[in-house]
Chains A and B, each alone.
Chain A
Amino acid sequence: MKSIIAKFESIVNQITDIGRDLHSKNILDHARWNLPYVEKSIRDLPELPFEKRASAIVISAGPSVHKRNSIQRIKQSAYKGTIIVVDGAYIASLKQGLIPDFVLTLDPHPTRIVRWFGDSNFEENNKHDDYFQRQDLDLEFRKNTIQQNQYHIQLVNQYGFQTKAIVASTAPQNVVRRIYEAQFDRYWWNPLVDDPNSEKSLTRQLYDLNKLPCMNTGGTVGTAAWVFAHSILTIPKIAVLGMDFGYYADTPFKKTQTYYELVKHIGQEEDVQECFMEMEFPLTKEKFFIDPTYFWYRRNFLQLLAKSRAKIFNCTEGGTLFGDQIECISLSEFLNHHT
């Protein structure tokens, strides 16, 4: 058991370096390319109306969103607070008739992220990549049909102008083009990727380039969305949902998002079960398991939450996110008693 934990921790500890090696070049290249498009920053956001200032729901794109019908339940409740969605949950929200106030996009991946806004280069970007077949964020995206993508393009074009896009300077060109094309109201920011006072800091290089305010992301757009609600919008009461940071117990290992990458990383398929750890969700006592990448996201989120000293409501109704400053309650309880 000890060696399993050691192996798991060793992989988790390598993720920061893997991410830095992977993203460092893209971060500055994308920010340079995006510079002419930067008109407004998150400093320029207009003040929210009273009811929107009081509370917010941050919708990430974990599988619980579909299993628990979370978006539909919010829509039916006529919730009056602020709705913030990550890019991967945006189309799912539109399909339920829920038009979010804000959508965040962060990931610089050149071919995948644009799918969340409808991809005008769908067939080419789909080649050699089974990401959408394996991802569990929105199972609808596994169908991957040209017709479905076309429908998504139309949907985003129809409703985009009603939502403010909170766009990272690191966004890839195709995502920026789509956001312009669909006429989102755009507000830019930089990801805070290291200590700005360190030598050759990437964050400082980004800031010197575009003077955009920087937000920490914890490595993932869902965490960035919470940082945005807490630190930029300064909303006192925030609920998160779809923030599973893990898999339902009946998910086969091979269907997890990083299975093949982990096999490649550790060298042998037989050892791959050592890369998963079981956790019990305190509200329901249901079992979930977590892989190193989700564990890394979870750890980063808990570090940032501790730093903020804020409290949040976790209305995911499952998953692995719990801790001292997190009150796990049902979405219905939040909607009925905390708004």
Chain B
Amino acid sequence: MDEELLKGNFKVKNPIRLEDRKEKLSVREELRSKAMASLGGSMVYMERTDLTWDGDNKEKAN
């Protein structure tokens, strides 16, 4: 497609604010993150890890 065809030849009265879309996306992303926060627990947990760890020399499993 010729890029010339896509160029506007007049100015719109109300300029388009690209930020609006960005803001909406950011709210959506925020909501998604909040949703995941409830499902994914308060902290990472991996199976087969000990109760405590205090460096290689003090490692212990109670």
Contacts and interface: CB of A to CB of B under 8 A. Distances in A.
Interface string B30-45: 1101111111111111
B8 interface: no
Q: Chain B interface secondary structure, helix, strand, loop or mixed?
A: loop
A170 B43 contact: yes
Given A192-B49, A215-B52, A216-B50, A260 B35 contact: yes
A299 to B, nearest CB: 9
Contact of B43 (A191, A230, A262, A265): A191
Given A192-B50, A308-B62, A131 B42 contact: no
B44 to A, nearest CB: 4
Nearest to B27: A128
A24 interface: yes
Contacts of B44: 16, 19-20, 23-24, 27, 191, 193-194, 202, 219
B4 interface: no
B19 interface: no
Contacts of B30: 128
A218 B49 CA distance: 10
Contact of A19 (B35, B40, B48, B61): B40
A217 B50 CA distance: 10
B51 interface: yes
A197 to B, nearest CB: 9
Interface stretch (A1-9, A179-187, A206-214, A317-325): A206-214
Of all A-B residue pairs in the complex, the 4 with the closest CB atoms, nearest first, are: A219-B41, A18-B40, A19-B40, A219-B45
